[in-house]
Structure 1
């Protein structure tokens, strides 16, 4: 009929024409005309991102290394996952409101130039995670294809970088498909992991050592919280294209719920496996836990999941790099993160994955905790309804009280640090505390932020017009 649009073919409906078009947007605000999508997309993204080998590993640590019984480990994993997932949910809600990436919002409390340090740390964290995930992906390909480390590593990093290079829309679509695949595969994996595990296992004092029951519980909680919470610095990167009117509660429930479900499920599965055996690489999952056929399917799913998670680190690390005011486009920044992570992964790929995994997770929490405390207090209490996106690009707001609050949060947490490289005086005197550094840093940063901004209330900025209009309606 004249004047009507031709109907789309099934393939065209399944694969949109612009799906593989490289995203051009960088750290500038997303315009209203480009806002689309629903909060539900965040559930599949954060679910898929947390169904990964690192989540399984963090659960295994609770029973196989720290000596908790299965029920104790599940409680610690659930608590740690709840803390980290709540952080993802809260910060995701500000993506639709401001239409900018998470580290752009960090300029609010830190200032335009004061935010350079957090941005660099997020960039470094993203490169580090990319390298860890590249090594895990290479180990998985080696097991599946029986090839050497070099070609397996190359296949993995190229896939990870390509997803991040194309950008936001493809990442969301890929994660949506992965959510279905991973749920099906890991239901089957869970059957073997749970039935073979010693679910009645109690606390193992020999494994826990000086930690004791309380210390082992706190450390397991901290590991799980640090792993999940590390995603919070990326949260708004994947919600900023949602329409401004998207319900904040829906965003919180979708983003936080997806991360929580996956973290408790896969972390709990790891705890069950850890009651019987130690799984150090993806290959061990096949050799020690799963039958050959299911093991192969699980490894394929794990590789795809690992690739999806690594592309998130690469994508958000590139966004953080753009905030360092280095003159480059988003795609160039993606290649930079990928290159650094690739080199680091190649060097680390010859070592033992478990040797540094625990320390790496804690080190992430040491600075992310105080940053998170500053961000949540600033966004939810100090600047509630009084911050417009334009303020994040104002270079006259050079350094703001949030930077001092963050440094204070890190400083007060130092005595509680408990690592092989450094043990603070409080942690040394009371080993049963475990490692509560991230919690102390969060509380210290939050309290310092509230106090400092109370002294300089005029520095927050004018009420955002959109928030005023929303209140009137």
Structure 2
């Protein structure tokens, strides 16, 4: 993709100029100019905290109890998985201030024209996350207002689409407010849960089954956190170049880790009390009445604020593959398709469908991270800085990145464990799912070899 494609009018557009500038952002994937850079790195804490402390995280925690893990064992598993998954996200978020560019557009540097594949996968990934989160938001609104489920889901999706269309600064402001609202709600929920519920401490599995369950649950936790890796710099690209990278890293790490761990711990502690009816279970746990009503409202609002980010990043991914739609229009397309997926997940066997969708949509992320991280290292070693537009002008084949990505994805297959497919290694290890780790390591190693052998040819500037 050449410089002309990068700066095409359809990929540019109106941008906020300062904190609190709530102008409708029509800007797409072109790098953010210095004149429009603003904000402090602490905003990364709230923008990555609010969208993750949701019923999706709580329900994921209940899966640990379903696998037979006691609270202590499950806690260690989710802590390990969440931190390991959050580290790549925090690292990639530091690229936004340096380049002014979102994550998938940055992936064009190693992938070049072949970015179409990870771009389309990321677009579908955004739709799937819309479904995973919107499912609970729609269920909460349906119970709150006595609406049919499909209508409640449509309302939630409409509201989230509006926030996603408004764009970057509105999303940051909404998440700052929702961080306070959600934190207060979850404090009340935590007190109610820990004060009136017996937490299962003992494991109900042992031996190899225990090891397999531990690793699987750790991978589930990792899959939640690392899913933000393909979005990370989308929400830091307006930060000034002078932004402290260590602070950006730490705030992002804290935002992702604290939110997911909090939600998953509650789900793990509640065990099968919440089951497939997570939203109804929360309402019952809080005793219904005013408190239960507030809980349902917060769950619905949380789904709106979280999915607005999915719509936003999905629109950037669609532009990255070359679809010439304005970013707000692309956000609408993501929302509409998510509606059908939510209805399918709600039709029955939620636990299996939820776990399958959660794992399957994330298997591609570690191989993607492996490629872009190694490419970044080669470009920035010895302290080198680069301009995205100038770097795109350097002739470099995209097939090494694509091949490394595909090899990483292929290497992960034997280690996968879902109800749709269980690889031979996963079966031999009592259901342990190590696919995420294998995909990351293999893709990184393969791409390192390619970068050492296949060198960029020359600069081809306009």
TM-score by length of 2: 0.90
**Structure 1 Cα separation of the partners of residues 458 and 190 of structure 2:** 49
Partner of residue 344 from structure 1, selected from 338, 341, 346: 341
Q: Secondary structure at the match of 2:30?
A: coil
Q: How is 1:303-322 mapped onto 2 (pairs within 5 angstroms)? A: 303-322=300-319
Q: Counterparts of 1:45 and 1:211 in 2: how far apart (Å)?
A: 39
The alignment partner of 1:427 has SS state of: helix
Q: Could you say which residue in structure 1 is the equivalent of 2:85?
A: 84
CA shift in 2, pair 1:293/1:244, >3 Å:
same
Q: Tell me whether 343-352 or 150-159 shows the greater mean CA deviation.
A: 343-352
Q: Deviations over 1:210-269 (max 9, x none)?
A: 961111111111001101111110000000000011011010011111111111111111
Q: Secondary structure at the match of 1:169?
A: helix
Distance in 2 (alpha carbons) for counterparts of 1:302 and 1:368: 27
CA distance in 2, matches of 1:381, 1:222: 29
Matches of 2:211 and 2:287 in 1, distance apart?
32
Query: Does the aligned pair in 1 maintain the 2:136–2:299 contact within 8 Å?
Result: no
CA displacement, residues 420-458 of structure 1 (integer Å, 9 cap, x when unaligned): 2222222223326x0111111111111112121121244
Give distance in 2, aligned partners of 1:420 and 1:164.
33
Preserved contact between residue 50 and residue 182 of structure 2 (Cα < 8 Å): yes
Higher mean displacement: 66-75 or 187-196: 187-196
| 1:51-450 matches, cutoff 5 A | 51-63=53-65, 65-111=66-112, 113-199=113-199, 201-205=201-205, 212-274=209-271, 276-288=273-285, 290-381=287-378, 383-384=380-381, 385=384, 387-391=386-390, 393-394=392-393, 397=396, 399-431=398-430, 434-450=432-448
Q: Judging changes above 3 Å, is the alpha-carbon distance between structure 1 residues 192 and 323 closer, same or farther for their aligned structure 2 residues?
A: same
Structure-2 separation of matches of 1:449 and 1:119: 18
Distance apart, 1:290 and its partner CA: 4.7
| DSSP 3-state at the match of 2:269 | helix
Inter-CA distance 366–461: structure 2 relative to 1 (3 Å threshold): farther
CA contact (8 A) 1:114 1:398 kept: no
Give distance in 1, aligned partners of 2:391 and 2:298.
40
Structure 1 residues 431 and 81: CA distance shift in structure 2, 3 A = same
Counterparts of 2:370 and 2:138, CA distance in 1? 36
1:52 and 1:275 map into 2 onto residues whose CA distance is: 18
Does the CA-based 8 Å contact 2:415-2:425 persist in structure 1?
yes
**In 2, distance between residues paired with 1:235 and 1:417?**
25
Q: Which residue of 1 aligns with 2:51?
A: 49
Q: Which residue of 2 aligns with 1:10?
A: none
For structure 1, the 5+ residue unaligned runs are 1-14, 463-473
Q: Following TM superposition, by how much is the alpha carbon of 1:412 offset from its aligned partner in structure 2, in angstroms? A: 1.4
Change in 2 beyond 3 A, CA 1:403/1:16: closer
Partner Cα separation in structure 2 for residue 459 and residue 425 of structure 1? 42
> Deviation string for 1:350-380 (max 9, x for gaps)?
3343231111121123211111122222223
CA contact (8 A) 1:196 1:273 kept: no
Shift of 1:17: 7.7
Structure 2 unpaired stretches of 5+ = 1-17
**C-alpha distance in 2, partners of 1:127/1:453?**
33
